[in-house]
Amino acid sequence: MKNIEIQYLEIEENKSYENIIEKVITKCFEVENLNNLYVSFTLTNPENIRRINNEYRKINKSTDVLSFPMFEKDEISKISSTKLDGIQEVLGDIVISIKQVEIQAKEYGHSFERELSYMVVHGFYHLMGYDHMEEEEKRQMREKEENILTKLQINR
């Protein structure tokens, strides 16, 4: 079973984006020992991500990644371990602005692959219930993100 679904919203389809996302999410699922779940991705442009951000978060500005979790943090392991006879639950939705990924990769002086991989793993851990509002939460989330990227040898 695939653990991702990718949709394109007003941008060109691109196999290399899909390959990066699949590689990163597969490692995330392996490390977190998740089954019976998948992540829905929408790859889009700054205008659409701004509209979605405004509609769902009442923040009328463009951003790099949005995450919409379907479960609370403590529900995920229970759902993941339940045998569902081939039926998968959606862990959540991640929306990524590909244009913003390009801009930030240049800004931070690393590859497009590194930046897109970071957006994927960052969005994934938001779906898993992690956040970065408090310093301790931020430390935990960054540690998990870096662990995945290090295992994949996707360095800065």
97 lies in some domain: yes
Nearest to 130 by CA among 64, 79, 55, 67: 67
CATH of the domain at 8: 3.40.390.30
96 lies in some domain: yes
70 lies in some domain: yes
Indicate the number of domains in the chain.
Answer: 1
156 lies in some domain: no
The pTM score is 0.95
pLDDT of residue 80: 83
pLDDT of residue 82: 78
Containing domain of residue 107, as a range?
4-151
pLDDT per residue, tens digit, the chain (156 aa), is 689 999 999 999 999 999 999 999 999 999 999 988 999 999 999 999 999 999 999 999 999 999 999 999 989 988 887 766 777 899 999 999 999 999 999 999 999 999 999 999 999 999 999 999 899 999 999 999 999 999 999 987
SS3 96: strand
35 lies in some domain: yes
The sign one gets for the Cα dihedral 40, 12, 62, 135 is positive
26 lies in some domain: yes
112 lies in some domain: yes
Residues whose CB falls within 8 Å of the CB of residue 146, separated by 6 or more in sequence, listed in order: none
- Nearest-angstrom CA–CA distance, 141 and 114: 17
pLDDT of residue 83: 67
140 lies in some domain: yes
Here the tokens at position 121 are: 């793993």
